[in-house]
Structure 1
Amino acid sequence: APVENMRKSRLLLELRASAPVILLPVSSQSLDILVVDLGKLSVNNCFKEAGSVGTIIHSQMCENMETEQAVAPCLLDVMLINLDNMDLYAGRREPKHAQHRRKGSDMCCALELGCFCVSKQGPSLLREKCHLGLQVDRNLDTHLSHTVPDMSVRGTLSTLHGALDLSQYHIIRDLLFYNIGENIDDLPFYSSTNCDSATDHKQVGGRVWTVFSLQLDLLDVTLKLQISHGNLTTGESESSLACINFIKSRLLCENFSNRTRDIDLVSQEILITDTRFQG
């Protein structure tokens, strides 16, 4: 096929949405859910050449002082995503009718979905709703070049205060293990590149390339490990185990074309405080 016909589709996008919600189940067999309330969502995009000002690869080159790095010409779909008043909380999928719910369940539905609802379990994981800005660069010319990842995501979380107790920790842990970290070795893998084309063989030459790259900067992000959130109704006081302050950290995740992955949490400044005996 002609090279110009192999380029991925291009679509200018301007999106505004109020209160979109993403439900992340622990697994297909579990009723426990992590609810991601995106607050106010806005998405805009434009198209730029790789390495030009405003692309993720250009920012990384400037940070690493690699002004002479050669970047093969390819077109990127540069998408800017802004989330205002974002919130996270644990939930549980239950029948909508109260008489069918398990004993002791919260009778108030946070979300209604068909014949089921999602009830909120405990307080939010965030002490205050936060703002998250993301940039997503999508390589539209993967049939020509892999000098930049097929998809790159970069964002910053700053001045964020979160708290989770043991039950909320279990949901996060199980979500990472059974859902996001699920073993999919038995599923067929489809690369975004047509490896049968002569162009790909000449360009890739058998080398491994980055399919997905995530870089999330954590600036003054505080996570408190709670023994109990406390309860005003019963008079139970709040108690915690430790407080972790990611003063300046960076989370890096990369997936490669040979189906390997690399996950790193690099902390230049981190403060861990024992809060068991604090009043």
Structure 2
Amino acid sequence: MAIVVIAAPSSHGDEIDVKLQARFNDFRVQLSSGSAWLASLSMADLHVGVEMRRGHTQVTTGLSQLSVVDLTPAIKHDKVLSMTSDEVFRAEVSLYNRTEPVEQDFVDLELSAQLGGARLLFMNRFIADLLAFMAPFSATQAALAEASQTAADAAQQAMHNAYAQAFRAKLSVTMKAPVILVPQSSRSDRVLVADLGNLNVSNRLEMGPWSQLSTPAVLDKMTLKLDNLKFYRGQLAADGSVHSECLILQPVTLAVQVTRNLSVSWYRDEPEIDILATLGDLTVVLSETDYAQIMRTLNENLSESGTAELKPLPPPSPAAEAAHGASRSGGTTSTAVAHLETTLASVYTKLRFSFDWTFVGVELFTSSAEEKVGTAGSHARLSAVEKRCPVLY
């Protein structure tokens, strides 16, 4: 680990006041139940850089390697989390100090991020082992839960304040969405695969009508696009690759456009939040073999229990429950009345949601071993599809 801090006070706005650089070369954590090793988490080459200037603060960060390995003996596939790209993520964040009056093209935050592809292996037995490992730390879990709730409340309040101030953000995020593999069991090569494709997030600020104070309305239009999402079955090799792929859900595209009205305090012709979701052609092709493997996976994978005994957490004390209930109920009536008065004073469209679904197709058919090798007849079209889908019984 290396940390370098440079402080250089300056009277010029473009020069660096404080510069910090930190790098973690290697980080590893291993979990054990006392009688056997459970899992290993490792990260490599995590770097963070911060530059503070008079007008803005810039943060750059990145991570090269991340992996989680199941250390349970006598299992067939142990790579719970692995990366399929050269880096985990790389991001650059710029926070700008707002000055009055605010310029039309000003943004409070600018985020540019590239996230690599991840490969996740879901095993119910592994999740049960982790829960069993965490069960004895009930006091720590309670403290973490309380801290998480406090952090969530603070984050919600910060988001509310930022939204009230018409917080402007410019986003450019490219992500190779994760590939989720669900083996039939911990000792099986048959696997169901959910490939979430490629994710792109971007936004732009659009100026609307001008107010009487010569201030334009500002609309933040964010576009989220998920390409090449698909679901299939196959056979998992020792190196983690999937062979003998057979598509169940044909590749589909999902696009979501979110428009935020940042001038909702005086411009009400547009909703405060307008969401438009568009789903491309959705085609499902399901054979008897596909259905059988899905049901076997649900039955065998989800029924596998962990190697460690899962101890239930102790119930909270009556005094703690009473205090928690009192904290939740306090001030409810006055808050509700104030909210009702505010709502009646000004009624406008707060949220609008539209969903466009172009095509849905489901093909269900029976198949046998003879049909899968290309038997002609009334199933000719289905046989052409099933030629690439070997029987995995």
Q: TM tier, shorter chain?
A: 0.3 to 0.5
TM-score, structure 1 normalization: 0.39
Larger radius of gyration: 2
Kindly indicate which of the two structures has a greater share of residues assigned to helix: 2
TM-score, structure 2 normalization: 0.30
